[in-house]
Structure 1
Amino acid sequence: MKAYCFRVAAGRGTPIDLADALAAGPDMVWVHLPQIDDETKEWLRDRAQLDGYVVDALTATETRPRCEKIDQGAFLNLRGRSKEELDNSDLLASVRIWAQKGRVISVTRKPMIAVSTVKAEVAAGHVADPGDLITAFAAAITTDLDPDVADLGDQLDDCEEQLDASRVFELRRTVSKVRIAAIAYRRFLTPQRAALEKLAALPGDWLGDDDRLHIAAAADRAARMAEELESIRERSALMHETLSDLRAEQLDTRSLVISIAALVFLPLTFLTGLYGMNVANLPYAQEPWAFDAIAGACALIAAGVVIWFVRQHWFSK
């Protein structure tokens, strides 16, 4: 089974084998399982000897950010960006964390960008206890998501600056993508803030005061991003309505032009159709000047209709 294991001692994190990860000792051990399969479930249940409820939580298919205190430890589920392209309805991958004094086990189903950052923090000796490790996860996730959320706002700003009836379809596609991403991110960031706030308030000596402060700061950052995403969602909805109005106005203008053209040619069609009938005794049909007279009459009628439209201000409506 593929796994990343570190033992934190003397201010640094040292990679160890999975077989040595369960050995008792005063040092903190972090085990990260980057995939969920039968072997992973068996290891969590039989080797790590975790409670069945904890194993189910760590290996669940559908997850939302949450935090639960279980005996002397805590289960935490967080969401962050993945290295793989995910479905539009679920843009964030999950990391499931079981933490207790001296031991942290994390599980991911999809490769998460934040895991690499946390591994570097552990290897550099910046993590000393489970609280530090969870803080590193929360900080890495929010730091990675922050530029993405800011980019959504920048894309919406660009759409507002380029607002033009001739680019309605292009802008609507961009606005729709931004809105979908904002909704998908906010769906997880709001409960993630609540989960971090709950974790910061949990009793237990495995969380230090500095850890609680850092976790609370990560919760505040998640709250700020959730508020920004809500603003982006509302702006996207307003932008979509504006683009729909522009499109409707464009269609109205084109319909007006077609209506004017039809009204101009309506009397001309009647006149030419009348003299195009294959019947006898049409007035002046045999006169040599009849064609010129009908053509002149058509021109005068068309000019008269156009002048009437101009005086009625149809072209400015």
Structure 2
Amino acid sequence: MTPDSQPARITDDDHCELPLLFGRVLDGRGGARAVDWKEAQRWKPGIESEVLWIHLLRTHPGVQVWLETHCAVPEPTAELLTSDANRPRAFREGQALVATLRGINFNPGADPEDMLSLQLWSDGNRVVTLRRAPLQTPRLVADSLDHGDGPEDAGALITALTEHLIDRMSHAIVDMNAMIDELEDETADTYSDQTLDKIATIRRQSLALKRHMSPQHEALTAIANGAPGWFEDHDRREIAESIARLRRYLDDLDISKESALVLQDDIRARAAANTQRTQYVLAVVAGVFLPLTFITGLLGINVGDIPLAQPGSHGFWIITGLCGTILAVELLLLRRLKWF
């Protein structure tokens, strides 16, 4: 492919006048050519190995009507593909496969648990993917097609999309595990309120990711078991491998959540032990000085006939010696009782 024939750089422009974000016609050999919106609407399967893939902005007006008129998608299904009902699911509708999948949100300023939905429809000759917010997975697959090492047919395209979605989930899980390891090293000697905030964030992310990934496991299982005949056996094996990896990631999420909980309990236990130790020291100090405070308070009242108050009685040194003797006796007693 010459530089002049390179496809245009893929961008996610939410303010474009057309619903098409990008389009490709797969050549059946791992490559593809770019198509615009007009060509995508006129496209007909010319060569048996060719497959049309268009990536649409589902919030664009008219997308639902286009799905119904140009792809013969039933109205309820078209409404599902363009709606905000983004819980992962998949089902077969005649010779078409319909799915809603979710991927990690790696957009700037977003949290990983804010997962993005990717709607998908395919009849074997055409693959239509739809999204609302920018999602990197379709662009990665399109880049591989532009370099000639992408999927060859509709089934391989769907498996490539699911594999990229799951791969990017693993990045978020690895980052959480690395953060837990760092926090465990930090809390070996000390901890702070920021540490507890980080642990709470990890627990929240783990719960959110599992809430979305568990139904995605069911959706991929539905694709592997109920996809139409054009979804070939090797595609089902690829999906089965993706399901196994997703299952491992779900187990990793459980481990991350439990590790964060153990770490949080350990920090709280240390904080409680430090508080108890401080209270114990304060109680010992208060017990030591209570008799001394009583004596000094009694002799310090402003009334007549205070003992040892007359000049020449050496009252200060007598009281000081008495307090020192009481202090020594108290310390000896506490030592024998093994209070410190």
Aligned-partner Cα distance in 2 for 1:38–1:272:
87
Q: Rate the CA distance shift 1:89–1:9 in 2: closer, same or farther, 3 A.
A: closer
Count of residue pairs the alignment pairs up: 315
Query: Once structures 1 and 2 are overlaid, which stretch shifts more, 82-91 or 198-207?
Result: 82-91
Write out aligned runs for 1:218-257 (5 A).
218-257=242-281
Q: Which has the higher helix share?
A: 1
Letter aligned with residue 185 of structure 1:
L
Deviation for aligned residue 1:228: 0.8
Q: 1:8 matched to which residue of 2?
A: 26
TM-score (norm 2): 0.85
Q: 2:132 matched to which residue of 1?
A: 109
Consecutive unaligned residues of structure 1, counting only runs of 5 or more, are none
Write out aligned runs for 1:86-97 (5 A).
90-97=113-120
Deviation for aligned residue 1:132: 1.0
Write out aligned runs for 1:1-317 (5 A).
1-3=18-20, 4-9=22-27, 11=29, 12-22=31-41, 23-26=43-46, 27-84=50-107, 90-125=113-148, 126-164=150-188, 166-288=190-312, 289-315=314-340
Q: Rate the CA distance shift 1:309–1:223 in 2: closer, same or farther, 3 A.
A: same
Letter aligned with residue 115 of structure 1:
P
Aligned-partner Cα distance in 2 for 1:45–1:24:
17
Identity value in percent: 25
Contact 2:86 2:100 in 1 (8 A): yes
Contact 1:59 1:107 in 2 (8 A): yes
Aligned-partner Cα distance in 2 for 1:306–1:36:
79
Deviation for aligned residue 1:48: 4.3
Consecutive unaligned residues of structure 2, counting only runs of 5 or more, are 1-17
Aligned-partner Cα distance in 2 for 1:31–1:185:
28
Q: Rate the CA distance shift 1:227–1:306 in 2: closer, same or farther, 3 A.
A: same
Query: Once structures 1 and 2 are overlaid, which stretch shifts more, 57-66 or 156-165?
Result: 156-165
Q: Rate the CA distance shift 1:147–1:215 in 2: closer, same or farther, 3 A.
A: same
Letter aligned with residue 290 of structure 1:
G
Q: Rate the CA distance shift 1:306–1:42 in 2: closer, same or farther, 3 A.
A: farther
Query: Once structures 1 and 2 are overlaid, which stretch shifts more, 288-297 or 87-96?
Result: 87-96
Q: CA-to-partner distance for each residue in 1:43-70, whole Å, 9 max, x for gaps?
A: 4345544222222221222422111112
Contact 1:129 1:206 in 2 (8 A): no
Aligned-partner Cα distance in 2 for 1:97–1:146:
22
Contact 1:35 1:110 in 2 (8 A): no
Q: Rate the CA distance shift 1:46–1:309 in 2: closer, same or farther, 3 A.
A: farther
Letter aligned with residue 122 of structure 2:
A
Contact 1:168 1:247 in 2 (8 A): no
Letter aligned with residue 18 of structure 1:
W
* Secondary structure of the structure 1 residue equivalent to 2:129: strand
Query: Once structures 1 and 2 are overlaid, which stretch shifts more, 299-308 or 263-272?
Result: 299-308
Aligned-partner Cα distance in 1 for 2:273–2:213:
38
Aligned-partner Cα distance in 1 for 2:271–2:152:
59
Contact 1:99 1:105 in 2 (8 A): yes
Deviation for aligned residue 1:10: 5.2
Aligned-partner Cα distance in 2 for 1:87–1:94:
14
Q: CA-to-partner distance for each residue in 1:192-239, whole Å, 9 max, x for gaps?
A: 122112101114222011111111111111111011111111122122
Q: CA-to-partner distance for each residue in 1:58-106, whole Å, 9 max, x for gaps?
A: 1222422111112221111111122325766942211111121211111
Contact 1:152 1:232 in 2 (8 A): yes
Aligned-partner Cα distance in 2 for 1:258–1:292:
28
Query: Once structures 1 and 2 are overlaid, which stretch shifts more, 111-120 or 221-230?
Result: 111-120
